Structure 1
Amino acid sequence: MHQCRSPHPCLPLHATHDNGQIMNQNRVQLSLKKRIAFSAFVTLSFFCFAEIGFRAMEIFWPPRHVDFGLGFNDDSRVFVDSKLHPGYMETDPAKRVSFVRQQFQREKPADVFRIVALGGSSVNYLEPELKQLERQLSNDSKQIEIINCGGLAYGSHRLVLVMREMLEYDPDLMLLYTGHNEFEEIEQLSLSGLNNLSFERTISRSAIVRFLRDRRADYEINRLEKEHNQRLLAREEPVSDSNFARAWSHDFGEQDVQQRMQSYEHNLRLILTTTKNQQIPVIMGTVSSNLLQPYLPREAAARYQQVYELWKNGKKDEGLQLAKRILAETTGRHQCSELENNILRKLADEYSLPIVDVESMIANAEPHGIPGETLFDDHCHLNDAGRAIWIEGYAPEIQKAIQSTLGRP
């Protein structure tokens, strides 16, 4: 029998083997934990250095200002306090992609008659004409100030929020011109990320996220510019493949026409009721659309060929009636129709408000009475000559409102 002669206590051979196995297992477990910790450390270090690097890049290539919520959120503001000019409001940097960059005193001076122009891109593009109108209407005793609140792709839903904000700045008169973006605004709402607003604001604190977000925005802007250029190149062929209306991300149904018009009327009523309660006069306007070269979905555009046939055969009035009917019946249209204009006329009559018939003025100024012959840049935006007609229609009503207000005791 084998005897242990070591001065230290001896263990059976099987015990020594088991202990060695346990020690090996501990070493394996320990090394696995170390590998996981090391991998986590490397990953974290990579993102930390990447974050530092992207933040350094932002010194030379500042990130885009992002309009979180796209104006649908309750805390959305077009104007913020100016950091450089105390007491002044200026367009929020995040809103400058949609609104004209401008500045005005928060507390309206006693000698200023403040006008707010409310609408979409058609109002936004009126900025040069509105500035000229300011100068024409101002005199030594009274300065006319027109704040341009035309938001790109803004429809009546978001204009209600803009109107509520503008009431804080004591306006004397509001101009209302809107109707092109009622379907556009539904798609904007679906893209706004309103339900994830807090999360998006939080992750955008990272320079890496901002970089990826801006590159995606660059891609989308380039895509939209390409589509716009294709439409301009295809203007001589209104029903070409490159001139069909772009597909919506929102799936519109036949019932959406009626629902959108109900929403449009509801939102306008909110604006008109609120301004009436605040005793702020409003000047409304019908909205003109390009009927010679509309921007229609493929199916509606094919149907629109009947309009061109009528015009070719000298049946101008029949062609115009059919053109207006097709536009009104088109789901997901990109421009104002007779449905919107009829609502505008009804509300102007109901609220006893002046309404400038821009639609008729544009049609009457065209060589053959067809909107789009000479006075539009695209399917809905007036060109320089068209905007001059817009001003020609609104200016007399603005003068009446100024005289009426200044004549009050």
Structure 2
Amino acid sequence: MRIWLFRAIALILPLLVLLLAELALRATGAGQNWPLFKINPANPAYLVSETDIVKRYFANNTALPSVKMEPAFLLADKPDNAIRLVVQGGSTAAGYPYGTGASLAAMLEQRLSRTFPKQRVEVVNTALAAVNSYTLLDLADEIIAIKPDAVLIYAGHNEYLGLLGVGSNYLASQSPGVTRLLINLRQLHSFQLMEQLYQQLNQPLQAADESSRTFMARVARDKAIALGSAQFQAGLEQFDSNLSRLLAKYQRADIPVYISTLVSNLADQPPFNSTPIPETVLSQLPAASAAGKPSVDVAVLDALAAQAASAGSADFHYLLGQQYQQRGMSEQARTQFLLAKEHDLLRFRAPEAINQQIRKLAVRYNATLVDTEAAFIANSPKGLVGNSLLLEHLHPNVQGYFLLADSFYKALGRDQALASWQQPVPANLVPANIAWQERPITPAEEYAGYLRILQLKADYPFSEEPQQVTFPVARTPQQQWGQAYVEGKLDWLSLQNRNARYYHQQGDGDMLLKTLKIIADALPHDANANQQAAQILLKAGRQGEAKGYLQRAILAPQASSQVQQQIQQLQATLAL
């Protein structure tokens, strides 16, 4: 009996020491916490998301990627009649390169608020550029804690070359289990202290400064991950392992999940890295004719396609796709373009196996599949997804982002997912043409996105070496402000305030209303912004929406006396 007592003490004592050390470090303020949501200091009735959440995944003093989460605001106490959705994913879900306005969260919130004017609608963005399934899983418990009515997921492109990806310079461990353990341990202040001591004792050699390079240029450690290789399989296993745990958490919490298939640029994005095309083929398969005239007989193309199946060359498949496309043979072209993406050794685009996993996981965990890939195919010329909806290898243009949000919106409507959708075919669906006209993004932000893509394409992998970027001459006020925004000379709110003044001066009521709504939706805790939105909506005869913005303004106790007076006048008019 005594020996078992000693053994128990021997086991408990180290744990007790660690517990006391942890409590002491927290009491003295040593170490850091990076919660997903924290009290908004500007208005304690609201929570705000942590913009620097990426610091949660790296030791202090680590050279971090310049990745930030767009701030999202939500009521600390969810109202009884509120609709609260949460978006998870990477840069596409976050709206890159346009920012908040093009994001899935903003596009959906704008349309759902129009659909349910009598309810408080919050579509909370937790998407973040460069992250993958590890971050989605890590944030799940905090998302569950805010009681969402559904979680919307668009993710999977970053499993290989995102943060903690299997081929990334920001890899933590080859083992998904070890990586998840490290993520959990890093929340302990004692573990953070041990990491700092380790860093000080093992100072790495100073590397060349690449802070001016794009994230894509810095992240890719493994530039040749062959289809079916051990590393390729590791990426699939990582995604399946993390997503299974994520969806199981939501299923246990009885939270519906809407998970989307992924979209890639097939027709207009040549492979980033490929094994060479066999020399014997090059003489038979010239590059696609600039004039669009077929240069190879169809029988020859079909024979070459059979050879390509065993060659494993992405470039080979891509050239075949171009040749079939010239002949209007869209199905054959799509097959070859898809194989070109599959054999691309530099895995910045998710392989089709990820979409297959998404479909299987949706069935396994009773999640709703949102087939965005099918929507993009249906809305692309000849069904070949390319530059008509995408900016480069995978990020949509504004029309593409609208289509992404539209796919989720229709899935929510088909499922009658929200309490007010009770009809067999929801009668209050907002038509796509109206939602498009009211999309929550301004021309200045669209131009800023265009400039950011110029910057992205001036570096690896679009160019082997970084190129000097020269912006075109800005010819309109919106273009000038968009460029100033990209260059860091203008912050987002200042940009929108300039837009509002400009549209007011021009007498453009529609654009003024849109801009004031954009500001108010981004700052639901701000009394003045929401009072202004309520006022202009009332003038436009949209009383139901005006009441929603006025209710948000009322919740802001820091309003000035002038704003409070205007709020009281609106209350009397709207009988609130």
Common fold, TM-score beyond 0.5? yes
The one-letter code matched in structure 1 to 2:135 is: R
Contact 1:367 1:373 in 2 (8 A): no
Unaligned segments of structure 2, at least 5 residues: 1-30, 55-66, 96-102, 174-178, 200-206, 276-312, 423-576
| Structure-2 residue corresponding to 1:224 | 214
Q: CA deviation at 1:334?
A: 0.6
Structure having the higher Rg: 1
Whole-angstrom CA distance in 2 between matches of 1:222 and 1:131: 35
| Structure-1 residue corresponding to 2:134 | 157
Structure 1 range deviating more: 154-163 or 82-91: 82-91
Whole-angstrom CA distance in 1 between matches of 2:274 and 2:120: 49
Q: CA deviation at 1:318?
A: 1.8
Contact 1:178 1:287 in 2 (8 A): yes
* Secondary structure class of the residue paired with 2:131: coil
The one-letter code matched in structure 1 to 2:332 is: E
Which among 68, 79, 85 is matched to residue 109 of structure 1?
Answer: 79
Q: Give the TM-score normalised by the residue count of structure 1.
A: 0.66
| Structure-1 residue corresponding to 2:13 | none
Report whether the alignment pairs 1:190 with 2:171: yes
| Structure-1 residue corresponding to 2:315 | 302
| Structure-2 residue corresponding to 1:248 | 221
| Structure-1 residue corresponding to 2:510 | none
Contact 1:256 1:331 in 2 (8 A): no
Whole-angstrom CA distance in 1 between matches of 2:260 and 2:89: 11
| Structure-2 residue corresponding to 1:89 | 47
* Secondary structure class of the residue paired with 1:170: coil
| Structure-1 residue corresponding to 2:395 | 381
Contact 2:82 2:122 in 1 (8 A): yes
The one-letter code matched in structure 2 to 1:327 is: K
Give matches, 1:363-382, under 5 Å: 363-382=377-396
Whole-angstrom CA distance in 2 between matches of 1:199 and 1:310: 59
Q: CA deviation at 1:134?
A: 3.8
Q: Report the identity percentage.
A: 22
The one-letter code matched in structure 2 to 1:345 is: R
Contact 1:117 1:148 in 2 (8 A): yes
CA deviation map 1:115-146 (0-9, x unaligned): 01111111100154134224223321x22210
Contact 1:81 1:89 in 2 (8 A): yes
Q: Give the TM-score normalised by the residue count of structure 2.
A: 0.48
Q: CA deviation at 1:166?
A: 0.8
Contact 2:86 2:125 in 1 (8 A): yes
Structure 1 range deviating more: 251-260 or 365-374: 251-260
RMSD: 3.6
Which among 133, 147, 168 is matched to residue 124 of structure 2?
Answer: 147
Whole-angstrom CA distance in 1 between matches of 2:110 and 2:421: 24
Structure 1 range deviating more: 184-193 or 255-264: 184-193
Q: CA deviation at 1:252?
A: 4.7
* Secondary structure class of the residue paired with 2:403: helix
| Structure-1 residue corresponding to 2:110 | 132
* Secondary structure class of the residue paired with 2:48: strand
* Secondary structure class of the residue paired with 1:184: coil
Q: CA deviation at 1:373?
A: 3.4
Cα 1:121–1:400 shift into 2, 3 Å: same
The one-letter code matched in structure 1 to 2:42 is: L
Contact 2:106 2:123 in 1 (8 A): no
Cα 1:256–1:172 shift into 2, 3 Å: same
Whole-angstrom CA distance in 2 between matches of 1:197 and 1:378: 39
| Structure-2 residue corresponding to 1:180 | 157
| Structure-1 residue corresponding to 2:555 | none
| Structure-1 residue corresponding to 2:494 | none
Q: CA deviation at 1:287?
A: 1.0
CA deviation map 1:353-398 (0-9, x unaligned): 3212111111111122111130001111111111111122111222
Contact 2:70 2:125 in 1 (8 A): yes
The one-letter code matched in structure 2 to 1:143 is: R
CA deviation map 1:199-258 (0-9, x unaligned): 676899xxxxxxxxxxx99x6452118x88xxxxxxxxxxxxxxxx98525875621112
Whole-angstrom CA distance in 2 between matches of 1:396 and 1:135: 15
* Secondary structure class of the residue paired with 2:74: strand
Whole-angstrom CA distance in 1 between matches of 2:75 and 2:139: 17
| Structure-2 residue corresponding to 1:337 | 351
